[in-house]
Structure 1
Amino acid sequence: MAFLPAPGYQPAYNPPIPYTTAIAGGLRVGMAVFIQALVPSPHNRFEINFSTGQYDGSDIAFHLNARYDGRDRVAFNSYQGGSWMEEELKKDMPFKPGKVFQLVFEITKGNFQVTVNASPFHEFAHRIPLERVQWLQVKGDITIQALCVIASGPGTGGPKGGSLLMSAPQGDLLPMLGPPIINPILPFVANIRGGMIPKRTVVVKGLVSSSAKSFIINFKVGFSNDIALHINVRMNKSLVIRNSFLNGAWGEEEKDLPKSPFKQGDFFDLSVRSGEQNFKVYVNGQHCFNFKHRLQNLQQIDTLDVTGDLKLCFVHF
């Protein structure tokens, strides 16, 4: 069962490098780009570009260039009218070869805010209007495990201008409602606006602690604390327990899986989509399990609750 992302969420897993993708709807305030990657050996440099076009020579609104040449540093710049503009340099090198890192670009009204491993790294003021930025490019000595372009809904413009074109199945899905919540602290509790009605998707991106014993993700009814879907990942037993807690009592556990997709010290992204009959749960783009609805009023399922031995990278509704 293939995972079809909802409008406003563009994931890619293990893409080949160089990698170029259109930013669905164009770049806009409130968006974020999450990259989970590592620098292989040997290595010299890699770059990430927010570009106005997909081909060489296009203007680049924001260029991040990590250089490994004995004077390891990260350069930031823009490319306009065939020339590079004034370069900004950071002598700190947070991208350690062979070690997985988390790189996040948040798009604000005034700048690109760059975070590495949940720590602020650099702010780069806009030099080119955001509406011109339609493409994301990754080149050089980098191995991407996951790349996610995250936004509110499908946007208003596509890479060739005009309205965004989606496939018919994707057009049937509800768009993501709000900007992503980046690096939230635990325990995490948030309202799901409108509830888990059919075709609604919730995405949780996290890093399992290296000594993790368990973590829990609950989809709840806010006013009663009933749990429509309880996901309990038990690392010591490699189990993913699913259950519900309704009217003061736990239901029957479901735990059959060929293999747990969660490992200590590893990143994951978990997508939960509500269907007419069940929740469909995907991990890292692969179908993991379905859970039949035990609470039929799906609109009442309006609260997400996350606790346990993990660090949240982002949550997106």
Structure 2
Amino acid sequence: SKDFNNDEYSLCTVQSIPYLGPIYGGLREGVSIYIQGSIPEDITRFFLNLLCGESESSDIALHFNPRFDGWDKVVFNSCEEGSWGSEDKTRDMPFSKGEAFEMVIVIKVNGNDFYTFQHRLPLERVRAMQIAGDVCIQTINVIGVRLPEHEALGSMLWALGFGLWALGFGPVPYSNMIPGGMYPKRTLIIRGMLPYGAERLCINFMVSRSRDIAFHMNPRVREGVVVRNSMIGGNWGQEDRELSMNPFSEGQYFDMSIRCGSERFKVFVNGQHLFDFFHRLQSFNEIDMLEIEGDVQISYIHF
């Protein structure tokens, strides 16, 4: 369904591979492409191309090609006017047969820096994405594109067609139901900015029926800590505070993905794994509401 009055767009089908679709608004510095998928046990290879047009014959700005051939490797290349460039290769294989993966381009896999591929063609020429081979894709999310209006954003999500929800919304506080609730392997993406003078941000995953807060994430900018907690039956639990880094600071944008597992939430910020939060609510699949408040400007949410 698509409801332009509420700036909410949804498509609940998963397209098959091979896939070829446009990247509306193109690429520029600050745009990221988030992909969720899984690798079959019998994989040979798959590839992802960033194309400079919307046909298979277009120039390829980035060719990303994991190969499982006994000498497992990932090949990087580009192709201009039908001629391939020199291959870059790494034998550090970040994918595993039979396992799910999360990838952020440019190029991060499962939250760890993997490989940097220097631009050979102008970034601004990229207009489409192609995926083919032995891979299953659940989600593609393009974050940070500049489009003239929300209808264009809705068109982009329909064109991608991998079960996305996007909302255009105003200032916080923000509260909305999570379509379908939380379940293992579901990932939410929140993109926003902490303006200068910001002191705190609060993100709550809640059970609407009881108002229990299953997962409370509270970056406190001035203190330099990210507090995690839960409130069940009206009582706050024990705070988690320890972190190896704090990516939240004044005047900075952030891209955050929160992945629900059977035992914990895994939180990534700007492509880096930040922390895990183990479920304290026995029936975590009752979580069906997201609330955001504090000193923050939210530009994008993907359910």
Question: Smaller-chain TM-score range?
Answer: 0.5 to 0.7
What are the equivalent positions in structure 2 for 1:250-289 lying under 5 Å apart? 263-264=261-262
Residue in structure 2 matched with residue 133 of structure 1 by the alignment: 126
Residue 96 of structure 1 and its aligned partner are, at CA, apart by 0.5
- Aligned residue for 2:117, secondary structure, equals strand
Residue in structure 2 matched with residue 283 of structure 1 by the alignment: none
1:39-91: CA deviation from partner (whole Å, max 9, x where unpaired): 11322110011101232221000010011111110000001011100110001
CA distance in 2: counterparts of 1:51 and 1:226, whole angstroms? 38
1:207–1:267: 8 Å Cα contact kept in structure 2?
no
Residue in structure 2 matched with residue 26 of structure 1 by the alignment: 26
Residue 268 of structure 1 and its aligned partner are, at CA, apart by 9.3
Residue in structure 2 matched with residue 92 of structure 1 by the alignment: 92
CA distance in 2: counterparts of 1:2 and 1:243, whole angstroms? 31
Q: CA RMSD in A?
A: 5.0
1:170-204: CA deviation from partner (whole Å, max 9, x where unpaired): 9xx9758xxxxxxxxxxxxxxxx9434799x9xxx
What are the equivalent positions in structure 2 for 1:80-229 lying under 5 Å apart? 80-105=80-105, 113-154=106-147, 165=152, 194-196=171-173
The 1:223/1:118 distance shift into structure 2, 3 A limit, reads closer
Residue in structure 2 matched with residue 231 of structure 1 by the alignment: 205
**Matching residue's letter, 1:66:** P
2:46–2:131: 8 Å Cα contact kept in structure 1?
yes
**Matching residue's letter, 1:302:** G
- Aligned residue for 1:20, secondary structure, equals strand
CA distance in 2: counterparts of 1:117 and 1:43, whole angstroms? 19
The 1:302/1:73 distance shift into structure 2, 3 A limit, reads same
Residue 225 of structure 1 and its aligned partner are, at CA, apart by 8.4
**Matching residue's letter, 2:45:** R
The 1:39/1:226 distance shift into structure 2, 3 A limit, reads closer
1:7-58: CA deviation from partner (whole Å, max 9, x where unpaired): 9x99987431011221111111101111111111322110011101232221
Residue 232 of structure 1 and its aligned partner are, at CA, apart by 3.7
Please give the TM-score of this superposition, normalised by the length of structure 2. 0.54
1:125-180: CA deviation from partner (whole Å, max 9, x where unpaired): 11111221000111100011222111144269xxxxxxx94569x9xx9758xxxx
CA distance in 2: counterparts of 1:64 and 1:226, whole angstroms? 36
Residue 289 of structure 1 and its aligned partner are, at CA, apart by 5.0
Number of corresponding residues: 214
CA distance in 2: counterparts of 1:226 and 1:72, whole angstroms? 43
Gaps of 5+ in 2: 158-165, 186-196, 214-230, 235-258, 268-286
CA distance in 2: counterparts of 1:115 and 1:226, whole angstroms? 26
Aligned pair 1:76/2:45, yes or no? no
- Aligned residue for 2:124, secondary structure, equals helix
1:39–1:96: 8 Å Cα contact kept in structure 2?
yes
**Matching residue's letter, 2:205:** I
Match of 2:211 among 242, 247, 250: 242
**Matching residue's letter, 1:19:** Y
The 1:10/1:50 distance shift into structure 2, 3 A limit, reads farther
The 1:148/1:21 distance shift into structure 2, 3 A limit, reads same
2:206–2:289: 8 Å Cα contact kept in structure 1?
no
- Aligned residue for 2:294, secondary structure, equals strand
Please give the TM-score of this superposition, normalised by the length of structure 1. 0.52
**Matching residue's letter, 1:94:** P
CA distance in 2: counterparts of 1:12 and 1:89, whole angstroms? 36
CA distance in 2: counterparts of 1:62 and 1:223, whole angstroms? 38
- Aligned residue for 1:131, secondary structure, equals helix
1:107-137: CA deviation from partner (whole Å, max 9, x where unpaired): xxxxxx3111111110011111122100011
1:154–1:175: 8 Å Cα contact kept in structure 2?
no
- Work out the percentage of aligned pairs sharing the same amino acid: 31
The 1:223/1:55 distance shift into structure 2, 3 A limit, reads closer
2:18–2:130: 8 Å Cα contact kept in structure 1?
yes
